[in-house]
Amino acid sequence: MGHRKKIVIIGAGPAGLSCGLELSKSNYDVIIYEAGDSVGGMSKSIELWGQIVDLGPHRFFSKNPMINEFFKETVKNDYTLVNRLTRIYYNKSFFNYPLKIFNVLKNLDLITIIQILYYYAISQLNRKKELNTFEDWIVSRFGKKLFEIFFKNYSEKLWGISCKKIDADWAAQRIKGLSLIEAIISALGLGTKGEHATLVDQFAYPNQGTGSIYTNTVKLIEANGGKVLLNSPVSKIITEGLKATGVELVGGKRIEANEVISTMPITLMLRGLTEVPKAVTDACSKLYFRNTTLVYLEVEGQDLFSDNWIYVHEPDILHGRITNFRNWSPGITKGKKNSILCLEYWSFDEDDIWKADDKYLGDLASEELKKLALVPAERSILNTYVHRVKRCYPVYETGYQDHIDIIKEYLMQYKNLTPIGRYGSFKYNNQDHSILMGLLCAEKIIKGIDKRELWSINTDTEYQEDGTVKDVLIG
């Protein structure tokens, strides 16, 4: 027992726990330190008003066998296949998502449709050779008018910066290879193979909430002799030269390790290292995250609207997405008769919305829900609850990859220190991406092979979805 290789993992989210589980199965001494009082990270579930809810929508869909095996091992058969329905709210109308041609024609006037086609033609005649920004990338494929309708407001709401400052990587990662013509062909059902079918019609969802994946993972890790310690924030990683030797917890306690896996925000991790070159610290200082404030509303009644979630593109509405948990697995409602909605507000630390008190946010969300006319006027809002998530979205500002490259080149010199996950690798991962990153990290440690290619996960999502699913028009 004393000769087993000791692995310390920082953070009990999807990446950290999936990595820990695989390592614990291979006779490693695994210990996971989680700063919070629960596991799952952004994919955890919480109990509200006698029901289970997640931190926003977390669907599970992958064609990658490693990810699916992890899901089967942790969830077994305790899940439901959910019929997916999502729509876009724009100009007081609802657009099917994926876009359907007759629905678009119904909701847009003839002048707007002509403008879409006109600006698309202009974009094709004057295509830029270099597409450095999100706006350039989208306009080149969809035209200026469609960019303004379905991309600009939502993206700027999410990221808090102009689309002229959002890196083109964001578009390339989420909308790889799709053009307006292909979207129209797909909407008309004329595609031959459905290469851009734009999202699956169903997804798997655990009956006890997404967070049950991770609470179940903890049980499996502990059954293998590993440990998951809550309320145990790590203050820094201890190093000797270019080798990690352990971690130091807040309070000063030190733990030795043969290998350290970090899912904490890469900016915080780097600040805790010693003798980091100035070029690396300068690059680190240019990376930043976006916060999310989740406002939950308990609404009287059950049949409010049929969507799983809705993307809100309306400029005079501050929230960007609304989830209806009534339309997920029946298990999470626990027989309760009321519905729980979650409205998402994105902000930086200095923004008023982040600093606002719970009452203001509850009143704001209630008022905006009425503006959307999603809930019948006679239905009462019974309760509100606010949950804040700090540093949840790594911001892809133009040129961010240059900073990441400097950091990556430096960290690759550490053979036994590996950053993974959304926070750790500064990638806007879905939970599926983070699970895969954790599994592959464990595999490479077990086999003793180079872990550097982990940085490429989620650069091209085809590894996961076999080229058939693309998240188009969304963040």
What one-character-per-residue DSSP string does 194-236 give? -TT--S-SEEEEETT-THHHHHHHHHHHHHTT-EEESS--EEE
Q: Is the pLDDT of residue 419 over 70?
A: yes
- The more confident residue out of 197 and 305 is 305
What's the rounded Cα separation, in Å, for the pair 312 and 300? 22
What pLDDT shows up at residue 152? 92
Q: Can you give the pLDDT at residue 181?
A: 66
Residue tagged 């979207």 (tokens):
183
- Give the distance, in angstroms, between the CA of residue 274 and the centroid of all CA atoms in the same chain: 30
Which pLDDT value is given to residue 474? 29
How is residue 317 written in tokens? Answer: 């509405």
- CA 236 to CA 315: how far, in whole Å? 42
- What is residue 475's predicted lDDT score, i.e. its pLDDT? 28
pTM for the whole thing? 0.90
351 vs 173 pLDDT, higher one: 351
pLDDT digits (tens, 9 = 90+) for 44-61: 999 999 999 999 898 877
pLDDT over 90 (residue 374): no
The residue that leads in pLDDT, 128 or 417, is 417
Q: Which CATH superfamily is domain 289-394 in?
A: Protoporphyrinogen oxidase, mitochondrial; domain 2 (3.90.660.20)
Output the pLDDT for position 102.
75
If one compares 91 and 49, the residue with the highest pLDDT of the two is: 49
What's the pLDDT band for 62 if we cut at 50, 70, 90? confident
DSSP state string for 3-46: TSPEEEEE--SHHHHHHHHHHHTTT-EEEEE-SSSSSSGGG-EE
Q: What is the pLDDT of residue 385?
A: 98
The encoded tokens of residue 163 equal 């689309």
Choose the most confident range, by mean pLDDT, from 142-151, 177-186, 256-265: 256-265
pLDDT tens per residue, range 26-45: 989 999 999 999 999 999 99
What is the residue type of 180?
A: L
pLDDT value at residue 64: 84
CATH of 6-43+61-79+208-286+398-459, one of 3.50.50.60, 2.40.50.140, 1.10.10.10, 3.40.50.720: 3.50.50.60
Residues 341-366: tens digit of each pLDDT: 999 999 999 999 999 999 999 999 99
Q: What is the mean pLDDT of residues 405-415?
A: 91
* Three-state secondary structure call for residue 186: helix
Cα–Cα distance between 146 and 179 in angstroms, integer?
11
User: Once rounded to an integer, what is the mean pLDDT over residues 418-435?
Assistant: 90
Tokens of 358: 């719970």
pLDDT value at residue 136: 92
Helices 211-223 and 14-24, packing angle to 10 deg: 30
Which phi and psi (to 5°) does residue 377 adopt? -60, -30
C-alpha distances (whole Å) from 363 to each of 217, 312, 342, 350, 387 are 37, 18, 13, 21, 15
d(CA 131, CA 138): 9
**The residue type at 130:** E
Give the pLDDT of residue 131: 86
* pLDDT value at residue 325: 96
Is 462's pLDDT higher than 60?
A: no
Quick check: 2 pLDDT over 80? no
The pLDDT value given to residue 1: 44
Position 183 confidence tier, pLDDT thresholds 50, 70, 90: low
Per-residue pLDDT at 38: 96
pLDDT of residue 464: 40
Work out the number of other CB atoms within 10 angstroms of the CB of residue 96: 16
Reported as a pLDDT band with limits 50, 70 and 90, residue 188 is low
CA distances, 415 to each of 21, 135, 242, 324, 418 (Å): 21, 39, 8, 45, 8
Q: Between helices 134-142 and 110-125, what is the axis angle to 10°?
A: 110
pLDDT for res 472? 30
> Is it the case that residue 25 has pLDDT exceeding 70?
yes
Q: Quick one: CA torsion of 35, 18, 22, 416, rounded to 10 degrees?
A: -60
Mean pLDDT in residue range 318-345: 95
Instruction: Name 450's bridge partners.
Output: none
The token duo for 74 is 């942790």
Going from N- to C-terminal start, the domains of the chain cover 6-43+61-79+208-286+398-459, 99-198, 289-394
- Which residues touch 143 (CB under 8 Å, ≥6 apart)? 116, 117, 118, 119, 120, 121, 122, 123, 180
| Least confident stretch, 100-104, 260-264, 300-304 | 100-104
For 280-309, give one letter per residue: b (16+ CB within 10 A) or e: beebbeebbbbbbbbbbbbbeeeebbebbb
Residue 11 clears pLDDT 50, i.e. is over it? yes
